[in-house]
Structure 1
Amino acid sequence: MHERSERATRGMTTRRSVLGDGHVDRAEASTTPFDADFQAFITEGAWGSVWSRPGLTKRERSLITLALLAAGGHEEEFAMHVRATINTGATPDDIKEALLHVAVYAGVPAANSAFKLAKAELAAQQDKRGAAE
């Protein structure tokens, strides 16, 4: 049996702390031989290397990630990382400020789309919190 590398173990811990166990469990359950290498790559490379580095907080990395995803028009990943802010400490005001930077440096259309997605995701989070109380 293949033993998991230290980077993969660190990556999985970080990935779970940012995205949540539910998301990671669903991703793991839907992994097939076709995308298993890709899943290992993002767990080790993105989560075990970049996201696990010292120097920036998870909140700061979260905001950078949101800005880059918004600028690139990666809506599904952007929405997922808005949901993850509940775990990273980035606030709605933080997201708003990051998206204002997107508007200036990547364009108003990218920011406009991201604001729409962020509003929907933040409202859904609020609804979930309200239902749980």
Structure 2
Amino acid sequence: MATRRSVLGDAHVDRASENMTDFDIPFQTMITEGAWGTVWSGDALTKRERSIVTIALLAALGHEEELAMHVRATANTGASAEDIREALMHVAIYAGVPAANTAIKVAKEALLGLKT
């Protein structure tokens, strides 16, 4: 939970926790243990590097809401706007321009509050 809080921030984690129900508690537990307790807590990559990889994957898969959340989380991970842009350039080449185009719009809105 400490890693999840350090990346996403207390406000986000508190909101997610407050909105849990009996239905999604097992899912939230799995995410906390698997994503945050294992993947994000490993020593092989920095939080900045994990952030860049996560942004690229979410963009390539078209997961806009999660992408926006992780773009905002770069304030906590050390990934820069330039890092995000470069990750999305890779998405354009390896996952397609339409995916990257959408991701650029999402990132601009998340970073700058710009509606495109």
Q: Which residue identity does 1:64 align to in structure 2?
A: V
Q: Name which of 65, 77, 80 aligns with 2:54.
A: 65
Question: Structure 1 residue 82 and structure 2 residue 82: aligned?
Answer: no
Measured after TM superposition, the shift of residue 65 of structure 1 is 0.1
Runs of 4+ in 1 over 2 A off after TM superposition: none
Q: Name which of 69, 83, 88 aligns with 1:99.
A: 88
The C-alpha deviation readout for 1:29-58, integer Å capped at 9, x for no partner, is 000000000000000000001100101000
Question: Structure 1 residue 51 and structure 2 residue 37: aligned?
Answer: no
The C-alpha deviation readout for 1:79-130, integer Å capped at 9, x for no partner, is 0000000000000000000000000000000000000000011113xxxxxx
Q: Which residue identity does 1:55 align to in structure 2?
A: A
Structure 2: segments with no counterpart, 5+ residues: none
Separation (CA, whole Å) in 2 of partners of 1:70 and 1:60: 15
TM-score (normalizing by structure 1)? 0.84
Separation (CA, whole Å) in 1 of partners of 2:72 and 2:14: 16
Question: Structure 1 residue 38 and structure 2 residue 31: aligned?
Answer: no
User: Residue in 2 aligned with 1:130?
Assistant: none
Separation (CA, whole Å) in 1 of partners of 2:66 and 2:21: 20
Partner SS, residue 90 of structure 1: coil
Larger radius of gyration: 1
Separation (CA, whole Å) in 1 of partners of 2:67 and 2:34: 19
Aligned residues: 113
Q: Which residue identity does 2:83 align to in structure 1?
A: D
Separation (CA, whole Å) in 1 of partners of 2:10 and 2:53: 22
Q: Which residue identity does 2:39 align to in structure 1?
A: V
Structure 1: segments with no counterpart, 5+ residues: 1-11, 125-133
Separation (CA, whole Å) in 2 of partners of 1:122 and 1:70: 15
Separation (CA, whole Å) in 2 of partners of 1:122 and 1:76: 14
Partner SS, residue 22 of structure 2: coil
Partner SS, residue 43 of structure 2: coil
Separation (CA, whole Å) in 1 of partners of 2:111 and 2:15: 21
Separation (CA, whole Å) in 2 of partners of 1:42 and 1:122: 25
